[in-house]
Amino acid sequence: MTLAADLRARLERWAAAGLRRQLRPLAGVGPVVTDGSGAPLLNFSSNDYLGLAGDPRLLPASEVPAGAAASRLVTGHLHHHARLEDSLAQHFQRPALVFSSGYAASVGALPALVGPGDAIFSDRLNHASLIDGARLSRAQVHIYPHGDVAALETLLRHSRGTGRAILVSDTLFSMDGDVAPVRDLARLAQRFEAWLYLDEAHALGVLGPEGRGVSAAAGTTPDVLLGTLGKAFGAAGAFVAGVPELREWLLQRARSFVFSTALSPLVADAARRGLAIARDEPWRRDRVLRHAHRLRQELRALGFHVPQGSGPIVPVLLGANGDAVAAAQRLATRGILAVPIRPPTVPEGSARIRLTPMATHTDAHLDQLVAAFREAF
């Protein structure tokens, strides 16, 4: 069978299962975007929680190179990157190393920290980047049920081993909108002499004091803190923060850092400005959390299955893949962009519409969204 025929058959099976996705060109990144026909859509599927991605203040005030032209260890380390890392270190009170993306940070950091003979203990619903980073490390990976501290403690008691051990978890889970028990994770890490690695990608900028995340709100200091710059901060890229030795080791050994062209200087400057705006305009995080709280209450009142949560992510569970796709299509006819989320992003049988309001949505936008749900089902 030729490659084309083999892949065609796979794509047909993927489509039959209701899993085939398509790229959809849009104009704009704010609360209102337009599709290919020019029709306006209220955007409730972005991770731009604070509404900064389209803020003109993130644009460069003067000419900035578009590309760094090399990895940072060659000639790609520019003052734009240094200034961004200085700002991150000041805000998060620990040295930071910037990567090109959150995915690159995870698949670089975990294999640099642990390997064969070591152990990783990972929440079942961790992001794909954490899963892949754990696999690439070649350490023994132990999966514990989502958020189940007792099960994790049992795993640690029986499988801790004699090598290095690291507990890995998202803090705000991107598809369910719930928060990890970080205090308990920190307690277990200390008790079993393990390191604590927390991915704060969806929490930073929105949760915790000055938007410094779930761990800061809980009064815990993870050994490894991963954050992204392309969500609440409106730009792109990611960073890993911790003790000075962590930054230096990752600079030496994280392959996705060493062997990758540096983040665009344009983007680095935009991220630095986004970080400052997010810090200085607390109304943004207050407003997006208020929007999310309202959506949970009103959609539950309409009879929808909306799990508990405290962040900006509001999943509406529908179950079957086809139901989620059909729901998204019905919402689109009512001017709402709400993307269906299906396996493998979420477990089988838990397809959903994942709603993510922005600080720049208005109350009238939310009125239209709730009305669309009322009319479409």
User: Looking at the annotation, which residues are catalytic?
Assistant: 174, 202, 231
Six token digits for residue 170: 């998202």
Task: Please check whether residue 313 is in contact with residue 292, taking contact to mean a CB–CB distance below 8 angstroms.
Answer: yes
Strand, helix or coil for residue 138: coil
What whole-number distance in Å separates Cα of residue 330 and Cα of residue 347?
23
Of 184, 168, 155, 72, nearest to 114 by C-alpha is 168
Of 288, 284, 273, nearest to 235 by C-alpha is 273
How does strand 314-319 pair with strand 351-355?
Answer: antiparallel
- Residue position matching structure tokens 């938007």: 211
Six token digits for residue 47: 């991770």
What whole-number distance in Å separates Cα of residue 323 and Cα of residue 133?
32
Six token digits for residue 231: 């969500």
Task: Give 139's DSSP letter.
Answer: S
What whole-number distance in Å separates Cα of residue 259 and Cα of residue 192?
34
What whole-number distance in Å separates Cα of residue 356 and Cα of residue 177?
10
Strand, helix or coil for residue 172: strand
Task: Please check whether residue 350 is in contact with residue 317, taking contact to mean a CB–CB distance below 8 angstroms.
Answer: yes
Of 188, 201, 245, nearest to 104 by C-alpha is 201
